[in-house]
Amino acid sequence: MKFLCDEMLKGLARWLRAAGYDAELATDGEGDRALLERARREGRLLLTRDRKLLEFRDAGRDVLLLECNGLAECAHELVARLGLDWQHRPFTRCLVCNVPVEPAGPEDADRVPADVREGPLYRCPRCGRLYWEGSHVRRMRTRLADWKTR
């Protein structure tokens, strides 16, 4: 399942990426028609809280109008409406670029804190951002597990 989140759902897009989903984010100022065309062209489900997007012809098949107000509420709504698995493939995508991460090379080890160099290290091939299992990831895993069970 591939997603496109409108500007109002930037945080949700990041969490979908954390769960392992391909979740693109609308560019600032991208118009409604352009968003809908992009979702169709890329085979994505457009997630929005903007009712006006449903006014476009045949928008209902490409747009999911969310009624939620906060991040946790949106997470639970996606579980209820789509059967979304928040532990799909956690931490396999760059949270910034949405590109699948790859194992980092030994040359990247000096770019991370010494206490995490022994564990697995991943790198985004697009932006070069490094990822590792730190306390932040453990907290995020806990949140993803909580969203899955509710």
Residue 87, both tokens: 């532990």
Q: Cβ contacts of residue 26 below 8 Å, gap of 6+?
A: 4, 5, 6, 7, 35
Q: What is the pLDDT of residue 51?
A: 85
pLDDT per position as a tens digit, 18-35: 999 999 999 888 888 899
Q: What is the pLDDT of residue 60?
A: 74
3-state SS class at 147: helix
Q: What is the pLDDT of residue 74?
A: 95
Residue 15 neighbours by CB distance under 10 Å: 23
Give the phi and the psi of residue 100 in degrees, each rounded to 5. Answer: -60, 135
CA dist., res. 146 & res. 19, Å (int):
12
Q: Tell me, what DSSP letter sits at residue 118?
A: T
pTM above 0.85, yes or no: yes
Positions in the chain whose pLDDT score sits under 70: 57, 150
Cβ 44 vs Cβ 2: under 8 Å:
yes
Q: What is the pLDDT of residue 55?
A: 76
